[in-house]
Structures are given as structure tokens and as C-alpha cells.
Structure 1
Amino acid sequence: MSRHKRAPRLIIGAVVVTALVVAGYFAIVRPPPHTGYCALMPDTIGVFVGSPVTMRGVPVGTVESISQHGTAAKVDFIVVGDRPVYADAGATTLTNSLTFARQLAIVDTGTITEPWDNTVCLSKTVTPKSMSDTLNAFAQLSEQLLGPDPAQSDALARGLGAVDAATAGTGPVINEIVLKLGSAVANPDAGIARLTALLDAVSAISGKITSHWGDVKTMVTMMAPLLQQSAEEIIAPGIVIMRQLRSVLPILEDLADTFGGSILAGLNDTDRLLNLLRTGVGALVQLMSSVPVLVQTFQSVAATEPKPIATQPVSPTCAGPSQWGVCAGAGPAELLSVLLSGIGAR
């Protein structure tokens, strides 16, 4: 029984050993198919022989050798399998951490499917700055921000302090604005509905204009002679009048300076005159209503025959009658009675 139990184990072990031997043969003696390429890099900082070669972050090969080629560094690498390097490809070095080791990344636009000629090195290459170069650049930037004057070395700090003081207390306002913008972006239906209604209204107006374009064109065409006539009969004479007013306005100004006070005083007096006329309008109406009666009376008096005036006997004291039959020495009372008797006779 023990021999029958050990036989399957021996068979499984033999199969595993055979698979490992075959895999080692294909991996060492007969490596998988690959294609060799080269790239001319500005520098090879962080790239070594054996560094991985990636496409879109996936390892596809390794760096085989690094050599000097003029002012550039020539990097020979292989791509395992049938993965092609396209005609618009380029190369760069990158790292996923702060360590010094980098990987060679092959990048392309993905719009060209023609393969790259592997007998020509990739020339579209860039490399990032090293950490030391980056820190040196930051140091130079800091020196430029601080300025050459040592007394003004805190200018940047004072500027940041001024910005902080100017924006102090505005956090809630900015937060409210951001929240409103977020709500507007989250619920754009109302704005889109208003925009749609506006576009519909504009479309309706455009349709009306299109349907009545003939009438609009006729109206605009008919306005041309009207505008021409207005320019000739109104605008041109108006320009002449305005030019002539330049000589009249100084005269009017002198008249206003000379008689302006009297004219204004007269206008102020018209107010009192109107009040006086308003209060005496009743007597004026009665006076005007009696004018026709007086006119008729004078007309009737003028139409009657004159009658002789009765003369009175001469007083013994009268030296002689005058032409009115009154003593020459008569007093005013006697003269008035004669006049009134004559008027009564008429």
C-alpha cells in the first residue's frame, strides 16, 4: 500500500521538475522574442543598465546599455514581445517615488499606428531635473523674491501678512459664494430652462422678421427719400438758423442784462393785478352791462329836436341877460339850475 501511495507523488514531482527545466531553458538559453531600440537622452540621471522600460506604466522591457553620443546619452533598450513603438513616440525618464532610481518611459499620442524604424534612435526626448537641481531652482526663486536688499528680506512675509489682513473675515462670504455656485452647477435645470425659453423667443422673433421681411424692406426703402427730404428741409435750415443765432444771442443777452430786472418786476406785479381784477370783476360786469343803456340814451337825446330854453325875467339887480338867459352876475347855483333845466328839456 505504501508503494502505491508514493507513486503519484513521484509522478507529480517529476512533472514539476521537467516544467522548471523547460522554463529555464526558454528563459536562459532561448529568451523570448524582443525588438531593440535606442534613444538619445539629454541625460541619464537615475537610469542604469537593467532599469525597466515602460509603456503607459506597464513594464515592457529593460535598458541594455548606456553610452556617450556627442552631447547626448545614448540609451539602448529592448521591448519584449510584439509591442510596437509607434512613429510619433518619444522617451523620458520618471520615477514614482523620491528615490534616485528612474525608469525609461516610452510615450506616444496614440493617433499614429505606423511603427518606428528601430535603426534610428528616438530623438524626441526629455528628462526631468534632479532633486538637487529642483532645490537649487527653488533657492534661486526665493532669493529673487526676497530681493537684493538685506533690509527688505521680510518683504514677502509682509506682503503675505497684508494679504491675510485684507482677506480676514471674508471666509464665510467666500464659502457662501462657493456653495451657491455648487448649487447652481448641481441644479442647472432652471438656468437651462430660462436659456431655452430665451432661445425660443429669439427664434419666434426671427421667424416673424423672416415672414414679414418684405414689409420691413419696403419700409426701410421708403424711409430713404423721407430722410433725404428731412435733411434738406429741416436739418439744413436748422443749421442756418443756429449759425445766425450766434449773432443774435449776444444781443438777447444784453437786453436781458439791461431790462431783465424790469421785466421780472412787471411779471411779479401781474400777480397782484390779476388778484385785483378777480376781486372787482362783479363791478366791472355791472359797468359793462350799463354801457348799452347809456349808449341808447345818448342816441335818443341826439335824435330829438332842441327846445328853446325858458328865460326868466330880468332881475332888477341884473345888468343884462347873458347868451343863456341868465344874469351876467348870477351865482353858481343859478347857473347850475339853468343847465339842469336844459338837460331835462332835452
Structure 2
Amino acid sequence: MHSDAREGLLMLRRFVASRAFASIIGGVMAVVVVAAGAVYFLQPANNLLGYCAIMPDAIGLYEGNDVKMRGIKVGTVTALRPEGTGVRVDFEVDAAHPLRGEASATTVADSIVADRTLAVLGTKGTDWDTGTCITKTVTPKSLTQTFNAMSKVADELQGGDDPAARDRVKRAITLFDQATAGTGPKLNDIVMQLAAALRSPDAAVSHIGSLIDNLADLTTSIANGWGDLRQMLDGLAPILQIVNDVWDSVVELVNSIVTILPWLNDVTTKYGGPILQLLDASVPLVHLLGANVAGLKQLIDMIPAIAAMFRNSTDPQTGAVAVSYAPPRVALPEAQAQQVCTWLNGIAPGRCGGTADGMTSVDLVPLILGSVGAR
């Protein structure tokens, strides 16, 4: 049995050491190498997608730098060249991670001294056109730009080139110090009171609870009276409609007032003095009328008589102003009336019309005026 095993091992050793086995092994290795080369060199050309982005700058970005999407490497930078006011960055991305929708790009660095990587990001949508460069790009500011901006802000706070404003910050700090001088104890008291309130918050919570309860009562009252409130609001609708209807008239009235006010201003400017003098002069007359009129009723009772007087002072046919006059009448005893009539006829014959019933009828006004003219 042992001899059979020994013979098998000897035969296997002879086969491995033979030229046939070496030829077989060499052929297999050649096939494997050829297959691997074919897979490597004959793989499809569309496994990478080429994109470009117009960046504001390319600080820290070089050919061969990584292209990442959400922190995962998906490609490399292939070329950089100036274009317009920015830099065009060409890069390739694995076809398994194409850009879609509204693509954007930026440069990211793990520290302020390390090279930057190009970070790209897409959104939902169709695939991004590889022939169109990404323009939605941003880059971090460099240390030089950051320090220059800080220096510019500090210089502006110091007044810039204006020598008179050089101590602006100093004056502001001085004024703040003067304004807060002596307020330390008061501020300390406020802090202590706040600390005491925080140590015992039950009182504050109780106040808040009372406010919430009062608010609940208020909302309950509003809810219970909502019907009346709604009825009142419904009643406002006709009123608002009336206001809306008359609003045009109000606008016209306001426009008329705007037109009248300049006229009133001109009248006041030109005739204000005489008008005020007339009003001042009418004050005594008003007092006189008020003194002679016992009351408002008597004044109103006088209005019909005054109106009738003005109505009777015009001729109804011609419209001319006419004044009717009735001479006074005096009753005398018949004997005296006869004597008066005789005397009057002696002065002006025919003026006395008789003494019937003890009344003498004489045109007194013509008699007096004629006597004066005779003299």
C-alpha cells in the first residue's frame, strides 16, 4: 500500500517536471494576461463624462485634483485655463454619477494650507449637458483677501483718510464709558433680582397661569357673545354700503373745498381788514338788539312783521320800491276843530277838509313844507 502511494507521488513529480506541464501553465498565464489587457484596453469609452465649470478663481486647484460629490470622489480635474474674468476648469466624472438638474460647483479645502478639491452637486432633473459649462460657482476667499477685507473694515472704523475721524472708535468708547459710569451697582441689582426670580420661579409661573386663565375667560366671553358680535358686523354692511355710495359726493365736496380755499384766502388777504372792522362795529349793535329784545321768542315774533314790511315796500306791478305813509290823526272837540280849520285855511286856503265829527283832515307834510318854503 505504501509502495502504491510512493509510485503515485513519483509520477506526479515527473509530470510537474515535464515540459508538457510547463507549456500548459505558460499557455494559461498567456490567456489570462491577454484577457486582462483586452478588458482594460477595450472597455467602453463612455465610462467617464467630461464637464467644465467657470470658476471665479482656481486658487489651490491643479490638474489631477479630486472631484467629489457629497464628499465621495467621483472624478479628477483634467485642465485649467483662463476664460474671461474667471478660470475654466475641465474635469471628468464617473458615468455612474452624472450631474443632473441645476448643477453647481465650488472648491473645498480641508485646511487653509492644503490643496483644494472640486466639489460638484446636482439636483433632480434631466442630465446636465456636457457641452455647457457650469456657471453657478463659488470659491472661498483666500487668506490675503480675508485679511484685506478685515483691514479695510478696521480702516473705515478709524475714519479712513480723514484725520479728523481717526479717533472715532476712541471717542465712541469714551462716550460709552461716560454713559455707563455709575450704573454698575444698578446693573448688579438687576442681575441679583433676576437670579432671585430664577431661584424661585413659582411666582412667575403663577402669574403666567393667571394670565392664561384670564385669557381663557376672555376667549370664552368672545365665544359666547360671537352671535351678537356677528349680528353687529352684519349690520355694518348697509352702513358701509351707504358710505360707499356717498363717497363720490364726499370726494367732489373735498375737491370743491380745495377750489374754494384759494378764493377765501384771496378774499381774506385783500378784504380781511375791512371785514374784521365791520364785525367789530356790529358788536355794539348786536348788544343793543339783544338788550331791546326780551327773549328769543320775541325776536322770532318780530320776523313776520319785518318780512311783511319788506314785502309791502315794493310795488307788486312794477317792482319799484315804494313807502306808504299815514299821517297821524288827533281827535279835538268840535269847537276847537273849527278854530284849527279856520286858522289852517287862513295860512293855506283849501288845506282843511272840514270838521265833521270833530276831525280835521289836513295834509300835514305839504302844509309844513309849503309854509317853510313861503318863508
TM-score normalised to structure 2 length: 0.41
TM-score normalised to structure 1 length: 0.44
